[in-house]
Structure 1
Amino acid sequence: MDLIKHTLVEVRGLKLHVAEIGTGPKVVLFLHGFPEIWYTWRYQMNAVAAAGYRAIAIDFRGYGLSEQPAEPEKGNFMDLVDDVVALLDTLGINKVFLIGKDFGSITAYLVAVVHPERVSGLVSLGIPFLLPGPNCIRNDLMPSGFYITRWQEPGRAEADFGRLDVKTVVRNIYILFSGTEPPTARDDQEIMDLVDPSTPLPPWFSEEDLAAYASLYEKSGFRFALQVPYRSLGIDCGITDPKVTAPTLLINGQKDYLLKFAGMEDYTKSEQLKHFVPDLDNVFLDEGNHFVHENLPKQVNELIINFLSKHCD
């Protein structure tokens, strides 16, 4: 971790936090999800750098040490796509391997669709190809207390999170998202009520890890994080007939609660995915959960490095 360098890079009028390790022309850019931050890639960054790649991880705008946009509530996924491309331009990088997790995967897919010439290959953790829009996540087919539905309601998550300190909020979300069922509250509950305070952290996630995450969210808060991904998931991004032409690896944890979203497991395992991502390999890790890159880092690192080696120009 001490070898990872940290800088702030001006991108489209905002300073983005960039973490980097390794050198050379072969570049891997890591895109985090929620409740994550650049730090979520600590195992992967060191592994790919040791394999001869330049590893870069960012905090998305509004997250961690990156600056907040002036109007967070107007943010959408295309802002993140434009940030990624502008960052590559600023750093003088023509082509890159993208590795995404959670909504970072959606961003990676969009970059590959809109700017195929910039993407050498793509690795997604847990998220099959999804396009933001009305049918991205079928909340209507999930229970009314489904966490995404709750967090999309203006003010509700803010009030729920606001009862607790930031560290407890991140702790609770990590515990909830490590489970096999989508977090769902009763009518008389909020999402934070689903975690008993005595519940331990997952064994692969230390108090030191939690402190690293919490310190970054204490700076950024959750204002932009609730907008992107949650409240912008249903915003149509204006793309028709999308295709990801870059070689793609989808790594799934068989215990990922996302597979319990309406239709998600069938879609993830279907040939329909090949319509959007023709050059796709799909791997399931039996003991992997939503944080498969953190709970099974050695297996995930091996899959990533093999993929990079196979598709390096």
Structure 2
Amino acid sequence: MTQMDQIKHNFIHVNGLKLHVAEIGTGPKVVLFLHGFPEIWYSWRYQMIAVAKSGFRAIAPDYRGYGLSDQPPESEKACHADIVSDLIGILDHLEIKKVFTVGKDFGARPAYLLPLLHPERISGVITLGVPYVPMGPSNFKQHLPEGFYVSRWEVSRLSFISQKPGRAEADFGRFDIKTVVKNVYILFSKSDVPIAAENQEIMDLVQPSTLLPPWFTEEDLDSYAKLYENSGFQTPLQMPYRVKNEEFGIKDPVVKVPCLFIMGMQDYVLKFPGLEAYIRSGTLNQLVPDLDTIEIPEGGHFVQEQFPDQVNQLLLTFLNKHIQL
């Protein structure tokens, strides 16, 4: 049996949906892994195995509408509040009282919402690539051109009645799902922000002959593609790209648990206008007083898959330092 074979797969009924949860390890020390896009539970495979070997229980769900989890009703769409509610529902079902959260990409938002909304359930927070940003309008996407990938993907379908595809759906729809996942992985692995020309589509930024990054295998791509073949991209485009400003009634935006921020210095996200200044100016540390920031010089957007051993060691050092039973 391989280490991957030791990861168990369960389905938990939460909020009227059947959600897929990958799990490995046992005991009261629990780590909840939260994926981004185009990722899935599988993106945490190296970290789950590593923390389980060190005595932790690792849990990695597919969000609603992602991978093997049920699609939400189209009338409900999906938002961060849903994700937080689903995660609390999963923990309640599994009778887990307290966890560390590890969030990557947009998974950083629910990773930080949990200690703000449910502080009694969270021991600490680790995020990769995306720092804590308080709820509300983000300034970090401003001053980017129309061809910025987020701007293209956040345009929703024209109407539920006509069912006409939005620009992203039409762009993605020209290719099979495996090619879409491959192209996004290639694009997001670069250090430049993906920006298309006015009359160019995001998928066309990748030449068909472009190879996958050396740390991402064809087997990995197949695993991702099978999961997205099940879910499609309807919900992943909605959540996170089309979620507008949500109100949570958070009066105090300061995060009061120990936190770790791992930043790949070749991650294109670092080039969002004002983001690096926000991280380095001290503003971030005012909002997250107990924060350690660690840079990985050659790390890109998928740093946990690119440099798994290094990331695993950083996670375990933080977890063992702050675990309280």
Task: Please state which band the TM-score falls in when normalised by the shorter chain.
Answer: over 0.9
Using the TM superposition, name which of 65-74 and 89-98 deviates more. Answer: 65-74
Deviation at 1:130, TM superposition (A): 1.9
Q: Equivalents in 2 of 1:302, 1:63: separation in Å?
A: 28
Residue number in structure 2 paired with 1:230: 241
Change (3 A) 1:268 1:109: same
Q: Distance in 1 between matches of 2:302 and 2:120?
A: 30
| Aligned mate of 1:266, from 268, 277, 287 | 277
Letter in 1 for 2:282: E
Q: Aligned equivalents of 2:230 and 2:317: distance in 1? A: 36
Deviation at 1:225, TM superposition (A): 0.6
Pick aligned residue for 1:253 from 264, 267, 288: 264
For the pair 1:144 / 2:155, whether they are aligned, the reply is no
RMSD in angstroms over aligned alpha carbons?
A: 1.2
Partner of 2:160: none
What is the match of residue 31 of structure 1?
Answer: 34
Counterpart mapping for 1:2-13 below 5 A: 2-13=5-16
Q: Conserved in 2, the CA contact under 8 Å of 1:177 and 1:257?
A: yes
SS in 2 for 1:52: coil
SS in 2 for 1:122: strand
Equivalent of 1:101, from 97, 104, 108? 104
Q: What do the CA deviations read for 1:80-129 (whole angstroms, capped 9, x no partner)?
A: 01111111111100100100101111111111111111000111001111
Q: Which residue of 1 aligns with 2:55?
A: 52
The 1:137/1:70 distance shift into structure 2, 3 A limit, reads farther
Distance 1:170 1:72 in 2: 26
- Aligned-residue offset at 1:132: 4.3
State the match for 1:153 in structure 2: 155
- Whether 1:116 aligns to 2:127 is no
Amino acid at match of 1:194: L
State, as a whole percentage, how many aligned pairs show the same letter.
60
TM-score between the two structures when normalised by the length of structure 1: 0.97
Stretch moving more, 68-77 or 120-129: 68-77
> TM-score, normalization: structure 2?
0.93
Q: Do residues 282 (structure 1) and 293 (structure 2) align?
A: yes
CA distance in 1 between partners of 2:211 and 2:251 (Å) = 45
Q: Does the C-alpha gap of structure 1 residues 238 and 228 become closer, same or farther in structure 2, counting only changes over 3 Å?
A: farther
- For the residue of structure 1 that corresponds to 2:6, the secondary structure is coil
Q: What's the CA shift string for 1:187-219, capped at 9, x where partnerless?
A: 010100100000000000000000000000001
Report the AA paired with residue 252 of structure 1. Answer: M
Contact 1:133 1:233 in 2 (8 A): no
* Aligned partners of 1:167 and 1:210 also within 8 Å: yes
Pair 1:196 & 2:207 matched: yes
Unaligned runs of 5+ in 1: none
**Contact kept? 2:108, 2:128, Cα under 8 Å:** yes
Aligned partners of 2:77 and 2:178: how far apart in 1? Answer: 26
Q: Structure 1 residue 137: deviation in Å?
A: 4.8
SS of the residue aligned with 1:55?
Answer: strand
Within 2, Cα distance between the matches of 1:101 and 1:139?
18
User: Secondary structure in 2 aligned to 1:16?
Assistant: strand
Whole-Å separation in 2 of the counterparts to 1:254 and 1:228: 26
Task: Report the secondary structure of 1:283's partner residue.
Answer: strand
Task: For structure 2, list consecutive stretches of 5 or more residues without a partner in the other structure.
Answer: 157-165
| Structure 2 Cα separation of the partners of residues 253 and 208 of structure 1 | 24
- Tell me by how many angstroms 1:235 deviates: 4.0
Cα 1:7/1:258, change in 2 over 3 Å:
same
Q: Is the 8 A contact 2:67 2:228 kept in 1?
A: yes
**1: CA distance, partners of 2:139 / 2:18:** 31
* Offset, 1:138: 3.7
Q: CA deviation at 1:133?
A: 2.9
Q: Which amino acid aligns with 1:164?
A: F
Q: Is residue 73–residue 224 contact of structure 1 (8 Å, CA) maintained in 2?
A: no
